[in-house]
């Protein structure tokens, strides 16, 4: 099955939403969440924030707890239902819809998109529209933050179409690539007792940092900073991911 044959609405269903949160471990571990929240608090500068693809509130809930007013846009109603078990609509309002086109009320000092989520948009046009949608929501001088992995094509042997990313007890991740269309499907294999195993797949369109910067320019942004992580580690040619901050011209820029 090709990436374009897998609908995002089908990926983020009730079962996925139920299994998504892993409190205290994985991407919910304090050492993962806390640096992101700390950086976003600083970047918001006392203003309000909008999270695109807010999900179950992994970042939004602690960010709101730090005093930053947070609004979300989310495609999956089941994910929002899980979020509502943590905070109510008044605390973190959410608009249901696509992050590339849906409008939320108000203007914001900060729009952010974490954990590789922009790659869930499977065409370049959709990814460009996501930047433009972020710009529409921002005040002059506002920032758009994107967390994204760097494509691992250097790990792809000549003539091969797959790489193995993670091998640990009970779990294997491997990716299959379509380099012509910049598509990758991540295959998550979770092993249970005996012969039991579960396969989950997620399609992505990978984006090089330079291409991401051009998308930003098309939407009126300039790159303000790029680091390898939320803690400010310098970004290098060997960095596996990056946190890029784009800024609109205007007050405070």
Rounded to an integer, the average pLDDT of 58-79 is 97
Query: Could you please report the per-residue DSSP string of 72-119?
Result: EEES-HHHHHHHTTTS-TTTS-EEES-TTT---SS-EEEEEE-TTGGG
Per-residue pLDDT band at 8 (split at 50, 70, 90): low
CA 34 to chain centre: 16
Q: What is the pTM of this model?
A: 0.92
Q: What is the pLDDT of residue 6?
A: 59
Q: What is the pLDDT of residue 155?
A: 83
Tell whether the model's pLDDT for residue 184 goes beyond 70: yes
| Whole-number Å distance between alpha carbons of 12 and 253 | 37
Instruction: Tokens 């609908």: give the residue.
Output: 7
Per-residue pLDDT band at 9 (split at 50, 70, 90): low
| Whole-number Å distance between alpha carbons of 164 and 176 | 9
Rounded to an integer, the average pLDDT of 160-187 is 90
Q: What is the pLDDT of residue 156?
A: 84
Rounded to an integer, the average pLDDT of 189-209 is 91
CA 84 to chain centre: 20
In a 3-state reduction of DSSP, which class is residue 184?
strand
205, two tokens? 């369109």
Rounded to an integer, the average pLDDT of 76-100 is 96
CA angle at 145 for the pair 144 and 148, rounded to the nearest 5°: 135
Tell whether the model's pLDDT for residue 43 goes beyond 80: yes
Q: What is the pLDDT of residue 91?
A: 97
Q: What is the pLDDT of residue 238?
A: 93
| Whole-number Å distance between alpha carbons of 127 and 215 | 8
Q: Which residues does 40 contact at the CB level (< 8 Å), separation at least 6?
A: 49, 59, 63, 68, 110, 112, 145
Q: What is the pLDDT of residue 5?
A: 58
Q: What is the pLDDT of residue 2?
A: 46
Number of Cβ within 10 Å of residue 160's Cβ equals 10
Domain 3-151+207-247 has CATH 3.40.50.150: yes
| Whole-number Å distance between alpha carbons of 74 and 102 | 9
Per-residue model confidence as pLDDT tens digits over 103-125: 999 999 999 999 999 999 999 99
Beta bridge partners of 225: 245
* Contact predicate 102/132, CB 8 Å: no
Segments making up each domain of the chain, as ranges:
3-151+207-247, 153-202
Mean pLDDT rounded to a whole number for the chain: 92
């Amino acid at each position: 099955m090709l990436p374009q044959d897998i609908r995002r609405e089908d990926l983020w269903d009730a079962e996925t939403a139920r299994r998504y949160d892993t409190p205290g471990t994985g991407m919910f571990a304090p050492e993962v969440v806390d640096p992101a929240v700390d950086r976003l608090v600083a970047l918001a500068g006392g203003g309000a924030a909008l999270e695109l693809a807010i999900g179950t509130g992994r970042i939004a809930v602690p960010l709101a707890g730090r005093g930053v007013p947070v609004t979300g846009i989310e495609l999956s109603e089941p994910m929002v239902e899980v979020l509502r078990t943590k905070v109510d609509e008044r605390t973190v309002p959410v608009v249901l819809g696509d992050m590339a086109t849906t409008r939320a009320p108000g203007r914001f000092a900060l729009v952010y998109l974490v954990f590789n989520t922009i790659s869930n948009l499977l065409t370049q046009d959709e990814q460009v529209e996501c930047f433009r949608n972020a710009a529409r929501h921002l005040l002059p001088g506002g920032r758009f933050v994107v967390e994204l992995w760097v494509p691992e094509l250097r790990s792809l042997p000549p003539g091969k179409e797959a790489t193995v990313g993670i091998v640990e007890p009970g779990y294997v991740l491997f990716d299959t690539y379509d380099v012509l269309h910049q598509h990758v499907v991540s295959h998550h294999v979770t092993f249970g007792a005996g012969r039991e195993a579960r396969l989950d797949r997620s399609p992505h369109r990978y984006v090089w940092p330079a291409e991401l910067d051009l998308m930003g320019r098309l939407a009126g942004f300039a790159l303000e900073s790029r680091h390898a992580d939320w803690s400010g580690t310098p970004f290098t040619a060997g960095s596996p991911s990056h946190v890029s901050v784009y800024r609109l011209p205007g007050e405070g820029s």
